[in-house]
């Protein structure tokens, strides 16, 4: 296919046009009075109405103009990175990108040095991030308010997320998941205990009168790092456990052949034996297959060991050498079609806390891929012992999906706030930081100073957009906020009053502000130094 090469001004004009096409429909959603955006996908013939910046941005394409497509792709990468890192502030990222890129490229067009422009922008960013950290405050008891504001001022969303955190724990690694349900109502479902995402292997193992689950009361637990295929080898251990009058739950990497079939047959005969008054040593055997890849199996067993009190998993196990004292224990193990839950493990809190600290240290490794980080986070959540599921429903699929978007935004805002604290919202914190920076622009180089000026205008842009979406006069309100002696002063667009934004619960997660700025600055810097492009030629 023929290629087309563009240079200089043609590149910059095309990039700005692409950025505007992406950001203009995204930015109207910002703030308490932000508007909804409808999306129709002709390929799936499905519609979606949302205020979620990330969802809107990734739906926007440019088929005919490849230069616009390049700009849309680059800004979408920044938005997606913000969504991946914090799950919030994607609209803010888009707005920052538009201001930084367009004003920067216009400056380059009148011969401002792009390298110096970028240096000024980077220096101003460093100062801003330090100031965000300085003014942020811990969350404390603000979870309900944070979720309400981030969920488009929906009190039901705030109450529901607060309920989920109350059960799972008010910390950043709380085990909470937001999922869609076919039911019309939204509910919070709570689970206590260690949860493993692997269910029973066969229907033959169901032993509970209530239906699709296997329940083992006061069981011994054996973890084997390897494959189990011989039932005969396990008979002595099974008999030892049976003489104790307790069930045995075995967890292994894989169950095969004779072992799996023998356990299945014994489970099928369980009900007949009970009705006949016969004893069956093998009727209380539970099997759990490790859902993780073999290279990660030992890590999973290492997580479970301190919970159940087994010293570790057995590798290439010689079953005859295992005694009752070598086994783990729990109050109950429940296995359903999709999950296994261990409740009341007989291990030690000290051991679990030690393991949590080890995993937390691993999370701080900068070399982790997003996938590896997600796996470690899930392991931390499982070790917490308390889990909550927010099952989001609606009268129609479109309604449920829109509500889930709001729940996702609210939940991610709370999680980000728990990590790095919160600042006064509505764009007011960045507005005050911009005012401070404007008074302290270094003037040793005019092009570097221009980089500072562009950055300052960019971090004011979210405030201006919130006011524009609420049909307010931003310049008048800005001056009153900056002149106010009220701590954390901002403007509540719903009540039309100047208030202490943190006291009112109108906040922004400090982490979300930081990440949005970092990602926007990164993509703007790339575009500043782009003076030529090679594109597929159309027609």
Residue 278 reports pLDDT greater than 60: no
Residue 277 reports pLDDT greater than 50: no
Give residue 84's pLDDT: 87
Task: Give the angle 512-517-522 at the CA atoms, nearest 5°.
Answer: 130
For the chain, domains (ranges, CATH) are 3-137+422-536 (1.10.560.10), 143-185+392-420 (3.30.260.10), 196-347 (3.50.7.10)
231 against 422, higher pLDDT = 422
Give residue 280's pLDDT: 41
The DSSP element (H or E) to which 315 belongs, if any, is: strand 314-315
Q: Find, among 267, 259, 216, 277, the residue nearest to 241 by Cα.
A: 216
Q: Find, among 513, 505, 507, the residue nearest to 155 by Cα.
A: 505
Could you give the CA distance from residue 258 to residue 104 in angstroms, rounded to a whole number? 70
Give residue 526's pLDDT: 95
Give residue 268's pLDDT: 60
- Look at strands 220-228 and 248-255 and give their pairing: parallel
Q: Left (φ > 0), alpha (ψ -120 to 50) or beta: where does 471 sit?
A: left
pLDDT tens sequence across 383-441: 877 888 899 999 988 889 889 988 998 998 898 899 899 999 999 999 999 999 999 99
Q: Which two tokens stand for residue 429?
A: 């914190």
DSSP letters along 417-441, please? Answer: HHHH-EEETTTHHHHHHHHHHHTT-
pTM, full prediction: 0.74
Q: Summarize the confidence of residues 183-191 as an average pLDDT.
A: 89
């Amino acid at each position: 296919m023929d290629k087309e090469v563009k240079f200089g001004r043609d590149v910059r004009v095309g990039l700005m046009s692409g950025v505007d096409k992406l950001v203009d429909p995204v930015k109207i959603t910002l703030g308490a009075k932000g508007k909804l955006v409808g999306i129709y996908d002709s390929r799936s013939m499905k519609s979606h109405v949302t205020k979620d910046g990330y969802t809107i941005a990734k739906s926007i394409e440019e088929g005919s103009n490849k230069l616009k497509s390049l700009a849309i792709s680059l800004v979408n990468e920044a938005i997606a990175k913000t969504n991946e890192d914090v799950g919030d502030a994607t609209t803010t990222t888009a707005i920052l990108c538009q201001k930084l890129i367009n004003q920067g490229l216009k400056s380059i067009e009148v011969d401002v040095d792009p390298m110096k422009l970028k240096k000024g922008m980077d220096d101003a960013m460093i100062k801003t991030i330090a100031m965000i950290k300085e003014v942020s405050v811990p969350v404390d008891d603000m979870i309900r308010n944070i979720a309400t504001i981030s969920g488009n001022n929906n009190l039901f969303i705030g109450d529901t997320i607060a309920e989920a955190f109350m059960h799972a724990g008010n910390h950043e690694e709380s085990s909470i998941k937001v999922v869609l349900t076919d039911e019309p109502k939204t509910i919070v479902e709570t689970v206590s205990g260690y949860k493993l995402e692997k269910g029973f292997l066969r229907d033959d193992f169901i032993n509970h009168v209530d239906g699709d689950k296997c329940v083992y009361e006061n069981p011994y637990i054996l973890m084997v790092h390897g494959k189990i295929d011989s039932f005969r080898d396990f008979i002595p251990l099974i008999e030892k456990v049976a003489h104790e009058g307790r069930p045995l739950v075995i967890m292994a990497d894989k169950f095969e052949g004779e072992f799996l079939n023998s356990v299945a047959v014994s489970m099928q005969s369980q009900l007949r034996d009970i009705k006949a008054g016969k004893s069956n040593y093998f009727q209380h055997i539970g099997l759990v297959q490790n859902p993780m890849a073999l290279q990660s199996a030992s890590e999973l067993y290492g997580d479970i060991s301190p919970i159940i009190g087994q010293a570790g998993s057995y590798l290439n196990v010689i079953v005859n050498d295992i005694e009752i004292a070598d086994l783990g224990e729990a109050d109950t193990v429940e296995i359903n079609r999709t999950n296994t839950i261990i409740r009341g493990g007989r291990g030690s809190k000290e051991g679990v806390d030690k393991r949590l600290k080890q995993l937390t240290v691993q999370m701080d490794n900068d070399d982790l891929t997003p996938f590896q980080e997600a796996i470690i986070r899930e392991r931390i959540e499982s070790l917490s012992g308390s889990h909550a599921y927010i099952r989001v429903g609606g009268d129609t699929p479109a309604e449920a999906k829109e509500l889930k978007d709001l729940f996702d935004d609210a939940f991610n805002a709370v999680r980000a706030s728990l990590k790095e604290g919160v600042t006064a919202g509505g764009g007011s914190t960045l507005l005050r930081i911009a005012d401070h920076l404007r008074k302290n622009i270094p003037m040793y180089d005019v092009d570097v100073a221009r980089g500072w000026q562009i950055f300052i205008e960019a971090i004011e842009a979210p405030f201006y957009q919130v006011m524009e979406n609420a049909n307010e006069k931003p310049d008048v309100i800005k001056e009153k906020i900056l002149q106010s002696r009220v701590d954390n002063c901002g403007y509540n667009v719903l009540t039309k009053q100047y208030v202490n934004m943190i006291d009112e619960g109108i906040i922004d997660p400090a982490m979300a502000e930081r990440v949005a700025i970092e990602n926007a600055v990164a993509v703007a810097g790339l575009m500043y130094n782009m003076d030529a492009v090679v594109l597929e030629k159309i027609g």
